């Protein structure tokens, strides 16, 4: 094989590889947007390596980082009442890969990064910022902080002066 043919062959391999990377990553993004169940929750500590400052600030200053303790303190709650609390006081409860119990998923026991930013498994694997919710809006907060909870908990959204 002469040099010209080797260069052409190398270029074809490079183009094919880049095309596969593009289509693969585009496919992940499309599946994420469509709600594909391959995305799962990994817990806030998985965010720490790349987002250390944000993680440390969240752990130090956010009440959400230890939200499960509010459930644990309430000894009179029935199992059903606890499950209702899990929706907002844990990460991903009732969703694929989300909190199940203290025994099965202790890393998801508190309200963590993924409650606002979405399941982080694909983002953690690839580092692709399109695979996580970057821009949080007040509407995102209203999943837990609805009209009945805002006044009860003196709601002050972190997006307006939050921890990161």
CATH class of 39-160: mainly alpha
DSSP state letter for 135: S
At residue 6 the predicted structure's pLDDT band, cuts being 50, 70 and 90, is: confident
Interatomic CA distance for residues 125 and 20, integer angstroms: 17
Measured between alpha carbons, how far is 8 from 80 in angstroms, rounded to an integer? 66
More confident residue, 7 or 14: 7
Reported pTM: 0.70
Q: What are the tens digits of pLDDT across the range 56-78? A: 988 888 888 888 998 889 889 89
What ranges do the domains of the chain cover? 1-36, 39-160
CA distances from 50 to 54, 79, 104 (A): 9, 37, 26
d(Cα 110, Cα 65) in Å, to the nearest integer?
Answer: 6
pLDDT-based confidence at residue 7 (cuts at 50, 70, 90): low
What is d(CA 107, CA 48) in angstroms, rounded to the nearest whole number?
A: 13
Digit-coded pLDDT (tens) for 88-147: 899 999 998 899 999 999 999 999 999 989 999 999 999 999 999 988 887 888 788 777
* pLDDT band, very low/low/confident/very high, at 32 (cuts 50, 70, 90): very low
pLDDT at 134: 87
Environment class of 133 (CB within 10 Å of its CB; exposed 0-12, middle 13-18, buried 19+): middle
CA-based end-to-end distance of the chain: 56
Please compute the mean of the pLDDT values over residues 147-152 and round it to a whole number: 65
H/E element, 132: none
Contact 65, 148 (CB under 8 A): no
pLDDT at 93: 94
């Amino acid at each position: 094989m002469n040099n010209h043919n080797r260069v052409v062959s190398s270029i074809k391999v490079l183009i094919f590889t880049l095309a596969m990377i593009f289509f693969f990553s585009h496919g992940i993004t499309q599946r994420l947007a469509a709600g594909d169940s391959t995305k799962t929750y990994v817990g806030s500590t998985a965010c720490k390596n790349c987002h250390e400052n944000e993680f440390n600030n969240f752990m130090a200053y956010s009440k959400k980082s230890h939200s499960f303790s509010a459930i644990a303190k309430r000894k009179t709650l029935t199992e059903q009442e606890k499950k209702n609390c899990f929706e907002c006081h844990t990460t991903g409860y009732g969703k694929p890969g989300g909190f199940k119990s203290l025994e099965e998923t202790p890393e998801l026991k508190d309200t963590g990064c993924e409650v606002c930013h979405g399941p982080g498994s694909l983002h953690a694997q690839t580092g692709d910022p399109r695979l996580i919710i970057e821009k949080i809006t007040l509407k995102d907060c209203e999943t837990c902080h609805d009209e009945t909870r805002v006044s009860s908990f003196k709601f002050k959204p972190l997006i307006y002066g939050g921890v990161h």
